Copies of this chain bind each other. A is one copy, B any other.
Amino acid sequence: MGQTSNTKNRLIKAAAELMSIRGYNAVGVKEICEWAGVNKGSFYYFFPSKRDLALAVLDAQWEATRGELLDPAFARDLPPLERFQRLFQMVVASQRDTGEQVRGCFFGNLALELSAQDEIIRHKLQSIFQGWCEYFERVLVEAVTAGDLPEIDPAAAAQALLAYFEGMALLAKVNNDFGSVEQLAQRAIHAVIVAASPPVQTNG
């Protein structure tokens, strides 16, 4: 049993590592098996297809993101809005730790690569992003309650913040430089507050 779960976990870890750099379609089952030191027979024992492995990787990455990023960033030892600053700092630090090439957001990368080609993976990613929004929303509600934010629509604000956050990860990846968007990230709270308020009518 320990050996079984070890083999399965090695496949998940290998796929997570390879896909975080090159995405889904550029990474083959053979390469994942070699990286994990697992033979192809064992692969198909655990995962009927590469898609099934990708779904397991997404679950594992989401669990890690919650446990290692979102839960600690949003711990209640700081006032609500400062927790967003901490989140951005943690993301920037983790991207710096990966070495030469900015990898961006694992979920965002697969979302753009696969959403138009695989409905099952798209739904998985949609529910992960929904979970992400719920984290943001809880903190925003707390900030409103604490009087740190004006009355806003927390669901819309959470979506706006997530969009901004994913967009910055995209620019960081294409610029291969997280530093260039770090300052924008620091200012994201403001963007959220304003983006969530009703649109101003300009006079044409």
Residues of A within 8 A of B (CB): 21-23, 25-26, 78-79, 81-82, 85, 101-104, 108-109, 111-113, 115-117, 122, 125-126, 129, 148, 156, 159-160, 162-168, 170-171, 173-176, 180-181, 183-184, 186-200, 202-204
Bound Cα distance A112, B102 (Å): 10
A175 CB contact (under 8 Å) in B26, B85, B126, B198: B126
The 7 closest A-B CB pairs, nearest first, are A167-B167, A163-B167, A25-B25, A191-B195, A191-B191, A190-B194, A166-B167
Report copies per complex: 2
Given contacts A162-B167, A167-B166, A204-B79, contact A187 B194 (CB under 8 A): yes
Chain B residues, CB < 8 A from A82: 202, 204
Return A85 CB to nearest CB of chain B, in Å. Answer: 8
Closest approach, in angstroms, between the C-beta of A9 and any C-beta of chain B? Answer: 24
Which of A176, A183, A190: most chain B Cβ within 10 A? A190
A194 to B108, CA, bound (A): 25
- Chain A binding surface SS class: helix
